Structure 1
Amino acid sequence: MSIRLAVLIILVVAVILAISVMRVPQAEHGGSSHTSSSSKELSVGRDAIFIGDGAPAYALLRMKDKIYALGGGVAVIFSEDLSPLCYAKLKYNIWKAENYDEDRFVSMQQWYPPTRVGSIAMFDSELNLIWSVDGNFTDFRVANNKIYAAELKGDYYYLDIFDGNGNLIRSFRVLDANEVTEWIRDSLTIEVNDKIYVPYVSGDSKPYKLMLLSFDEQGNLELEKEIYETEEDVGRTYIYSYRDSFLLTIEGPACRYIYVDRNGSILRESIWEPLFETGFRNCWTRAKVVNDRVYVFGHDECIFAGLIGIIETPTPDSPSFKYIQEIFVKRDSTWQDNSIIYDILPDGDELYVIGLVQMNLPSGAFIVRVDPDIDTEISPLLERADVVYLEDMPPCKS
C-alpha cells in the first residue's frame, strides 16, 4: 500500500468518525452534577423540553413573538420552536401571570400559610421589575386596563383595584373569611366581566354550599346566590367567563365544571372522575376559555398524574368532554413520579403546555408544544424530550 493511499484512508476514516460523533444525540444530564459549556448549542425545533436546575413551571405568556415560562423564582424565554433564548432569576416566586399589554405583564407571587406574604408585581418584556405591591393576595385579573386583586386582610377578604402604575384606585370588603370553608380559606378567586364575581365554598361541616357574589366597581353587593349544596368534600373553586355565562371549576373527589348564568343559576354541568379507584380520590382542576373552546387541566391526586383535556362546546343535552389524557412519563426505563399541569397557552395553530414532572434527577419543569385539539399524546413527547439547564443559557440581562 502506498503512503499516499494510506494517508487517504486515514483521512476518510477520520471524517466518518467526526460525522458519527456529530450525529450522536446530546447525552442527558444525570445525577446531581453536570458539565457546562458556554459554547454548547441547544437543539431547535422541539416539541417538548425539560428544564433542569430550576422550575419555571407555573405560568406561560406570549410577548413579542416569544414564549415566557415563569415560576420558582425563575423565568426562561423561548422562541416559538422552544429554543431557549435566555433566563433570569427573579425575586418573586411567580404562581400566576397575565399580559397587561404588549410589553408588560402582571404576576402574583406564590405564598404559603401561615405567613401568607405575597405580592402583585408588574414586569416588562425584558423581565425588569416595574412595580410591586406587598399583600396577602389570593388571585387577580387584568381587565379594563386595571388589575383586580383578591386579598386576605385579617378576618376579611378585600377586593383591591390598581391602575397600570400600581396605584390603588379602590379597596372594599367583600367577605368575612370565616364564611369560607376552613381548609380552602386561602384560595378566593375572582373574575371580571362588567361586574366583579367571587365564588366560594361555605361551611365547615356538611352540607357545604357553593356561593356566588357579584359587586360593581364601587363595592356595592349586587348578587349573593347559593348555587347548590353538596355532601361531597369540595376544594378550591375557580371562575372563568364563558360566552354570556361563567364556568366554575371545582376540586373534589371528581373534577366538576359547572356553567352558571350571571344570576348564579346552573345551566349545565360536566364531571370528570379519576380513572382509577385507589381509596383516596381528589381532582385538582383549572381551565382556560379560548374562542369558545374550554381547556381543562390540573392533577389527578389518586395516581399523581397531570391531566389535560377539552370540553366540547357544551349544550344542555351534551356537556361532554372531547377527551382527557393523563400524563405518565418513563425516562431511561424508570417511571417518573407526580406530574402536574399548571398552565396552557393557546397560540394560533399551536398549544403550549407547562407543568412539572418529579424526575429521578433531574427534577424538571416541562413545556410541550402540541396542536390545539391535543390529538398528540403528551407523555411520549416528554419521554423523548431534551433536558437543558439554566447555566447552558445566556442570562437575559447582563
Structure 2
Amino acid sequence: MTDTSGRDTVAAVWRIESARIVGALARYTGDFALAEDLAQEALAEALVTWPREGVPRNAAGWLLTVGRRRAIDAFRRNTALEKRYAALAHDLREGGISSGSAPTNPPDGAEDVLWDPDRIDDDVLALMFIACHPVLSKEARIALTLRVVGGLTSDEIAKAFLAPTATVQARITRAKKTLKAARVPFGVPPPEERVRRLGSVLNVIYLIFTEGSTASSGDDLIRFDLAGEAQRLARVLARLMPDEPEVHGLLALLELTAARFPARTGPDGEPVLLEQQDRRRWDQAAIRRGRAALSRAARIGRGLGAYGLQAAIAECHAIAPSVDATNWDRIVLLYEALNRLAPSPVVELNRAVAVSMAQGPKAALRIVDDLVAAGALPNSHLLPSVRGELLIRLGRASEARTELRRAIELCGNARERALLRRKLANLD
C-alpha cells in the first residue's frame, strides 16, 4: 500500500467512524475532552502505521483499542484514578490484549470485544448533545460538532468557513474546557432535558447546511462538502431519534433543498436563478427522500414545526413543473405560519418574495419597506437585493440602482456579487 492510499484509507475510516470512536472512549473514560484527545492520538498512530503495515481487519476497532490504551497510560499517570485504570486494564485482559504499548495490529477478534454495537447509537447521540450543548457559543457548537461528530479536521473546518485554522482549533479547545468546567456529563440526556436541548442540535445542523447551500463568502456559491455533511448528520439523528417530528422535518428540508443543487449553478459555477433552472436536473431521488421525511414528520407530530414548515415550502417548489405553475398562495400561507411560530426578518423577507409572485411586486414592497423602517438585517445584502428586484419590476430603475449598489457592497460571496452586478448593468 502506498503512503497516499494508506492515508486516504485512514481519512475515510475516520470520517465514517470517528463519532462512534470518540463516543465509546467518552463512555469508557467519563471525560469527553480526554476522549477527543485520545481519539486524535489513535488517528495520528494510524496515519503512521496503516500505510506501512496495512489496514487492520477491523479498522474502527483498531482505533478504539489504541485509544483505550492511551487512556490507560493517562490513568497510570494520575494516581487519583488508579481504581478506574484497574477496571479498564481488567477489561482489556478479558478481551485478550495484554497491557503495554499499543499494538500495530491488535489480535483478530480483540477489536470486537471493545466495539460494542449495542452501545454505538447511544454514544453517537450523546456526542451530538454534548457538542451542541447550550453552554457553548454558536461558533463553538458548529466547530465541535464538525470535529467530533462529523470527523472533519481543523483544517477542513477552517477551509469550510474561511477561517484561520488556529481560530478553529482555539474554538474547539475552549469548547472542551467549557464543557469540563460546566461538568457536563457524558451520556444521552433524560427525556425531558433531551427535548429542551434538541433545538440546539437541530440548529447547529441547520446552520452548517445553510452555510454550505449558499456560502456567505468566498468564490463558490455552494460548498457541497459542508452541505453534504449536514445532510449526513441529519440522517444519523433521524435514525437515532425516530419519534421526533422536527428531526424528520429538518431532514426533509435539507433533502428537498439539496435536490436543486445540480441546477443552481452553471458550467462555470455562476448562480442560476430559480426561474431559469432546468428542473430536469433536480435530484428526484432526493425529492422522494425529502417528501417521505416530511410525511413522517406530519404523521408523528401534532402539526409541523419550524423546520417542517420550511420543508413544506421546499416541497411546493420541488413538485411544481415551473415557476409560474408553483402554488405561491400556499407558500405565502406557509410563510405566515412559520413567521408566527418562529418570527424573524429573514422569514418575513422570504414571505415578501412569495407575495410578489402571488399578488404582485407592489404588495410585496410594502412588506419590505416595513422591514427597512424597522432597521432589519442592516448588514445583509438580502434586503436591498430583494427590494432592488421589486423596484425593477415596478419600473423604478433609479431607486433599484441604489438598492443593487448597496447589495453589492454588503454581499460577501463573489458569485452572488457578480449576479448583482449583471442586474445593475442591465439597468443602464
Q: Which has the higher helix share?
A: 2
TM-score (norm 2): 0.22
Q: Which has the higher strand share?
A: 1
TM-score (norm 1): 0.23
